[in-house]
């Protein structure tokens, strides 16, 4: 998956903007997902295939996208993901796009799952927590919040599917 495919999956994704103070100040205050990519859609290799996507995230907080993106420009002392993205933004030209949506965490999970399926790994700046990996490997979440759990045998054959 690369940034062109994100635009096909997420209807209403914004234009790509340079990741800088000016862009963050103009970002919306609503909830949504956001994607960091290499500038000019410059691709790099992954375990499988190539991509230009560096990070996929979401926010449903009261300060919305603007507040969340501000944290990447000015990370706190214990905000390791924010510090990592901040350091990369100083070293490489990065761009950001966003898509406003009500169930941002569900859309983020769908995008991460698609990326994982395409590349056999997460974007390089996403942290692979046990909770996230479990969600990626055991179930799917629909945009309306429907959780779909699938139990498969060691050969990948579907044993049981639960939707709820």
Who has greater pLDDT, 97 or 8?
97
CA 164/CA 149 separation, integer angstroms? 9
Q: Looking at residues 61-69, what average pLDDT do you find?
A: 92
Phi, psi dihedrals of residue 5, rounded to the nearest 5°: -70, -30
Helices (H) and strands (E) in the chain, counts: 6, 9
Choose among 12, 42, 37: nearest CA to 96.
Answer: 37
CATH superfamily of 3-126: GIY-YIG endonuclease (3.40.1440.10)
Task: State the chain's mean pLDDT as an integer.
Answer: 85
What does the pLDDT look like over 125-156, one tens digit per residue? Answer: 997 666 777 777 765 545 444 444 455 555 55
Torsion of CA 46, 50, 145, 160, to 10 degrees: -60
Q: Is the pLDDT of residue 29 over 90?
A: yes
CA 103/CA 70 separation, integer angstroms? 21
Q: What are the sequence ranges of the domains in the chain?
A: 3-126
Q: Is the pLDDT of residue 77 over 60?
A: yes
CA 102/CA 86 separation, integer angstroms? 27
What does the pLDDT look like over 111-127, one tens digit per residue? Answer: 999 999 999 999 999 97
The per-residue DSSP string of 92-123 comes to S-EEEEEEE-SSHHHHHHHHHHHHHHHHSS--
Who has greater pLDDT, 92 or 11?
92
Whether the full predicted model's pTM is greater than 0.85, yes or no, is no
């Amino acid at each position: 998956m690369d940034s062109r495919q994100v635009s096909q999956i997420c209807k209403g994704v914004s234009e790509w903007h340079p990741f800088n103070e000016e862009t963050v100040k103009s970002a919306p205050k609503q909830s949504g997902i956001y994607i960091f990519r290499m500038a000019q859609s410059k691709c790099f290799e992954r375990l499988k295939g190539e991509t230009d996507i560096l990070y996929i995230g979401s926010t449903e907080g009261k300060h919305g996208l603007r507040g969340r993106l501000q944290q990447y420009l000015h990370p706190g002392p214990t905000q390791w993901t924010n510090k990592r993205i901040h350091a990369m933004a100083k070293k490489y030209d990065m761009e950001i796009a966003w898509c406003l949506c009500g169930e941002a965490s569900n859309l983020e999970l769908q995008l991460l799952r698609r990326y994982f399926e395409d590349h056999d790994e997460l974007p390089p700046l996403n942290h692979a927590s046990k909770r996230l990996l479990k969600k990626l490997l055991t179930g799917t979440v629909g945009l309306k919040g429907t959780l779909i759990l699938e139990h498969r045998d060691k050969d990948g054959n579907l044993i049981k599917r639960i939707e709820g």
